[in-house]
């Protein structure tokens, strides 16, 4: 069996963390790594014990939800809380960091930012990363790598569609299933 690549492994961790997010506007996860070891993780959500967006709605000021702490900040604060240094570490984030998180990442000594998806990439954030010599790299995340049976499932659905076609099923129905197949398996 082929092992998952490091970038995909750490990005998968960030995507799993994002599933814990309590903000309804965007779910984000972040994983801090040093020497190929996870040292902290975070997701965007409210302060411990506070009201959550999923329960009370987002508290929006100037088009930003102020109820949440961003995933990157939560991961950095976890390191601070438990006395774990972040100098020369790397961070894997599901989305490009906002300007405030960018500044915190730089100040924490993170040397590399890996992100999966562009999201309102602020030009000044990119400039600050460059000034601080923080390497930034987009690492697209491929969810299907998490399912070792993905190819088997894909082949089964294709076989079922072909069987429907051979049995004379309505072409409109077959077209609908083929469209759903493409959406499901990104083929």
- How many angstroms separate the Cα of 159 from the Cα of each of 153, 169, 183, 184? 10, 14, 17, 15
How far is 112 from 133, CA to CA, in rounded Å? 9
- The one catalytic residue in 56, 72, 162, 163 is 72
Please confirm, yes or no, whether 162 is among the known catalytic residues.
Answer: no
Quote the crossing angle between the two packed helices 71-82 and 99-107, to the nearest 10°.
Answer: 30
114: which 2 tokens? Answer: 């890996």
3-state secondary structure of 12: helix
CA Rg, the chain, in Å? 20
Burial of 74 (0-12, 13-18, 19+ CB in 10 A): buried
Q: So which residues are the catalytic ones?
A: 72
């Amino acid at each position: 069996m082929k092992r998952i690549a490091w970038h995909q492994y750490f990005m998968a961790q960030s995507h799993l963390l994002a599933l814990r997010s309590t903000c309804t506007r965007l779910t984000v996860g972040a994983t801090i790594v040093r020497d190929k070891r996870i040292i902290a993780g975070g997701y965007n959500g409210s302060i411990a014990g506070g009201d959550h967006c999923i329960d009370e709605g987002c508290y929006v000021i100037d088009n930003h939800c102020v109820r949440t702490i961003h995933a990157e900040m939560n991961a950095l604060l976890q390191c601070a809380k438990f006395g774990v240094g972040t100098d020369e570490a790397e961070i894997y984030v599901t989305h490009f960091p906002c300007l405030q998180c960018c500044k915190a990442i730089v100040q924490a000594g993170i040397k590399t930012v890996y992100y999966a998806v562009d999201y309102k990439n602020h030009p000044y954030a990119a400039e600050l990363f460059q000034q601080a010599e923080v390497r930034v790299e987009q690492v697209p995340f491929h969810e299907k790598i998490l399912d070792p049976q993905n190819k088997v499932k894909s082949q089964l659905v294709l076989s079922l569609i072909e069987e429907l076609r051979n049995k004379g099923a309505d072409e409109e129905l077959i077209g609908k299933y083929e469209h759903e197949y493409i959406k499901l398996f990104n083929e």
